[in-house]
Amino acid sequence: MRPIHELSSTAARDIEFVLTDIDDTLTDRGYLGSEAYSALWALHRAGLHVIPVTGRPAGWCDLIIREWPVDAVVGENGAFVYFRDGSAIRTMIHPSAAGGEIRTKLEEIRRAVLAEVPGSRVARDQFARLYDLAIDFREDPPELTLGDAQRIKEICERFGAQAKISSIHVNTWFGSYDKVAMASIYLKEQCALSDEGMKRRVMFCGDSPNDEPMFRFFPRSCAVANIGEYAEYLTTEPAFVSAAGHGEGFAEIVKVLLGKRG
């Protein structure tokens, strides 16, 4: 990972879309600080397209697309995207996203995880979810370890489900999608970007293992400094990293990007 300040001016001028994770990329200890929120507005005012790509639930994403300065939001690790179409808000659902028929399977996973990993619990935002199950390992107390999160992930996979570790939850679902799959569909169908166009015109910002598909696909990916906590769990690192962590790191990335665009 290279310092974000090494981003070239040529690359910065190519970037038109900024995709970003939310938890521990924009936030710090659960709070969306003024620096990160101001950075979102700075990108919006500069004419760049801002798209959060998150593991957070559909209910949160409906609020985000309505109240944040963003063009779209990919939610539940790629199950869907909500996007603005003039004054209307539209929805795209990934073709492989499983509907209500998977609730029984997710309930089996929930019971197994809670029985086998002491201290694990269903995330408080589960009531707002449509397609996945979120197991909290350190959003609310008591905090569990990354080793516990890995164990939760393995239990989910034992049932044939997909599972990803974020900085706060282990998200699990049935369907052949992830963050990059849904983001790519949106960028192709609604923004007319080819794969090559995405690689040149998109920057992604993240912080944890569930962002790894994005790090792998987008050459101009970057992370905030707290990515270092997950180094042993990553097989693909982002190209760039900020000096600061969390929301301050995101603000640093945006400042460098806009400064080098001139």
Domain spans of the chain? 2-94+177-261, 100-173
Output the pLDDT for position 196: 96
Segment 57-85, tens digit of pLDDT: 999 999 999 999 999 999 999 999 999 99
The model carries a pTM of 0.95
Segment 150-163, tens digit of pLDDT: 999 999 999 999 99
Output the pLDDT for position 205: 98
Output the pLDDT for position 98: 87
| 8 Å CB contact between 92 and 185 | yes
Output the pLDDT for position 12: 98
How far, in Å, CA of 36 to CA of 33, rounded? 6
**Among the listed residues 21, 74, 14, the one whose alpha carbon sits nearest the alpha carbon of residue 197:** 14
Output the pLDDT for position 101: 81
What is the assigned CATH class of domain 2-94+177-261? alpha beta
Q: CB-based burial of residue 210 (10 Å sphere; 0-12 exposed, 13-18 middle, 19+ buried)?
A: buried
Return phi, psi of residue 79, to 5°: -70, -30
What is the architecture, at CATH level 2, of domain 100-173? Alpha-Beta Complex (3.90)
The amino acid occupying position 21 is D
**Among the listed residues 128, 123, 127, 151, the one whose alpha carbon sits nearest the alpha carbon of residue 138:** 123
How far, in Å, CA of 244 to CA of 1, rounded? 14
Note down pLDDT in tens along the chain; length 262 residues. 999 999 999 999 999 999 999 999 999 999 999 999 999 999 999 999 999 999 999 999 999 999 999 999 999 999 999 999 999 999 999 999 988 788 999 999 999 999 999 999 999 999 999 999 999 999 999 999 999 999 999 999 999 999 999 999 999 999 999 999 999 999 999 999 999 999 999 999 999 998 999 999 999 999 999 999 998 889 999 999 999 999 999 999 999 999 999 8
